[in-house]
Chain A
Amino acid sequence: MARADAADGGALHRYANPLRFQRIADAVYPWVLGATAALAPIGLWWALVVAPADYQQGDAYRIIFVHVPAAWMALFTYLVLAVAAAVGLIWRHPLAEVAARAAAPIGACFTAIALLTGSIWGKPMWGTWWEWDARLTSVLILFFLYLGYIALHDAFDDVARGARAAAILAIVGVVNLPIIKFSVDWWNTLHQPATVMRLDGPRIDPAMLWPLLLMALVYKLYFVAVLLLRMRAELTGRRIANLRAAQGA
């Protein structure tokens, strides 16, 4: 079966075969998980103990190492979701549909973490838990987009119909990504503008930048590990459902 697929498809369809995907995922998953487990303590220790305290914010700034990577990943995961949804919609790529649905709850969690840690950070720094500032509001919209995608995906009896309807919604929602990214530049509000990803180089001390980048890597590895886990679980679930249906018939 795998051989027949390889003969008639390009690279895109080569990896559409769930069995081949399972084999690759089985091989990659332990390494990604191991790397996450190994790097997370190093990153946290570096961020929370080794990195110097901020001259202005003291130790309270250390929440940046949890907050900023979560916010980056909230945007990145939505991009992954939207691209996977588009690939699933256009080429009817079955694995892309599974990947989009698997990414959605992870992205919703990253968004929730970004909102929560931002709120905890905001209390000592801005003196308020929540501010209706442009970036906070647009990230909240992103959170609702994730929830809407999940709800729409699961609102149909027919799984394929739900996947495609939700994919259209995900693509429409991409409009929100540039709004979030540039909200702090367009509206001069409470949230600070970009300090790391700037054309003239990062405006943050290297002693703080390196643990931040390490934490970003840990978040990304964690995302890949959980995505693979969820996709494998979904594919196995489908296989069980098929077997049950075959037995029942």
Chain B
Amino acid sequence: MLSAASALLRRDLRLALRRPGESLLGIVFFVLALSLFPLGVGASPEILARIGAGVIWVLALLAVLLGLERLWQSDHEDGSLELLLLAAAPLELLVVAKCLAHWLTSGLILAAASPLLALLMGLPGEALWALPAALLLGTPTLTLLGAIGAALLLGSRRGSVLAALLVLPLYIPVLIFGVSAVDGYVMGLGGRPQLLILAAMLLAALALAPFAIAAALRLAAE
């Protein structure tokens, strides 16, 4: 059972490594979109430091959303999704392996790149570790919730715009606590409770989302 999941994880990681452009595109979007903000709102350091955490979180949300399309789409097209459904291992476990592989090539990179972005936005020193910590706890939840939306939309007529409508409302709690955790550390109030709530949301999503994703995938294969 676990060997099937780890084989799937290795396959997805290998596929992502063979085509590094796709996962790196998310980072390019992240940095490029961020560089628009100093141009748009003016480059005064106080404003950038004040809105920095929120802007980086919103962009992380959108970067995860953009990457969701490749989570199920190619497997759905070439038929490997049907093999996953027929496999002896429970689909819910395989779904977790797929989401983990996707997160390692998207959310983890975003979190790793975030201290650099925090420097670009002139955030204070505390943000350099608080921001990646919050993103490490938050982005897996984003991937799991987004995987539900992406799986529901398999085979629909209008894909990615609708994905934003379905998924972004579910992302709002993660955004609220993610930003307030970083802001808490930046303002010297501490953000431990918010980080714990982010961790709780991750655990709840990890426990419940695989069932919704698996149901949606079974529906798509009917």
Residues of A within 8 A of B (CB): 137, 141, 144-145, 147-148, 151-152, 155-157, 161-162, 164-166, 168-169, 171-173, 175-176, 179
Residues of B within 8 A of A (CB): 148-149, 152-153, 155-158, 162, 165-166, 168-170, 172-173, 212, 215-216, 219, 222
Q: List 28 A-B contacts (CB under 8 A).
A: A137-B172, A141-B169, A144-B168, A144-B169, A145-B169, A151-B162, A151-B165, A152-B152, A152-B166, A155-B153, A155-B157, A155-B158, A156-B157, A157-B157, A161-B219, A161-B222, A164-B219, A165-B156, A165-B219, A168-B152, A168-B212, A168-B215, A168-B219, A169-B149, A169-B152, A172-B148, A173-B169, A173-B170
> 8 additional contacts, CB 8 Å, given A145-B169, A147-B165, A169-B148?
A148-B165, A152-B153, A155-B162, A161-B219, A165-B153, A165-B219, A166-B152, A172-B148
Asked, given contacts A155-B162, A168-B152, A168-B212, whether A148 binds B157 with beta carbons under 8 Å apart, the answer is no
B159 to chain A, nearest CB (A): 9
**B213 (CB) vs chain A CBs: closest residue:** A168
B163 to chain A, nearest CB (A): 10
A137 to B168, CA, bound (A): 13
Q: Which of A141, A166, A173 is most buried by chain B, counting CB atoms within 10 A of its CB?
A: A141
A163 to chain B, nearest CB (A): 10
Asked, given contacts A141-B172, A168-B215, A168-B219, whether A161 binds B155 with beta carbons under 8 Å apart, the answer is yes
Contact B222 A171 (CB under 8 A): no
Within 8 Å by CB of A172, from B156, B157, B170, lies B170
Residues of B within 8 A of A141 (CB): 169, 172
Contact A168 B172 (CB under 8 A): no
Contact A179 B166 (CB under 8 A): no
10 closest pairs, A vs B, by CB?
A155-B156, A144-B169, A165-B152, A141-B169, A148-B166, A148-B165, A164-B219, A156-B156, A168-B216, A155-B157
B217 to chain A, nearest CB (A): 10
A85 to chain B, nearest CB (A): 12
Residues of A within 8 A of B212 (CB): 168, 171-172
**B209 (CB) vs chain A CBs: closest residue:** A172
A151 to B152, CA, bound (A): 12
Q: Which of A165, A166, A179 is most buried by chain B, counting CB atoms within 10 A of its CB?
A: A165
Residues of B within 8 A of A161 (CB): 155, 219, 222
Asked, given contacts A152-B153, A161-B222, A168-B219, whether A179 binds B162 with beta carbons under 8 Å apart, the answer is no
A161 to B218, CA, bound (A): 11
B202 to chain A, nearest CB (A): 14
A38 to chain B, nearest CB (A): 38
A114 to chain B, nearest CB (A): 16
Residues of B within 8 A of A162 (CB): 156
Residues of B within 8 A of A145 (CB): 169
A156 to B155, CA, bound (A): 7
Residues of A within 8 A of B172 (CB): 137, 141
**A147 (CB) vs chain B CBs: closest residue:** B165
Residues of B within 8 A of A175 (CB): 170
Residues of A within 8 A of B215 (CB): 168
Residues of B within 8 A of A176 (CB): 169
Residues of A within 8 A of B156 (CB): 152, 155-156, 162, 165
Residues of B within 8 A of A173 (CB): 169-170
**A171 (CB) vs chain B CBs: closest residue:** B212
Within 8 Å by CB of A152, from B162, B168, B222, lies B162
A137 to chain B, nearest CB (A): 7
Q: Which of A164, A166, A179 is most buried by chain B, counting CB atoms within 10 A of its CB?
A: A164
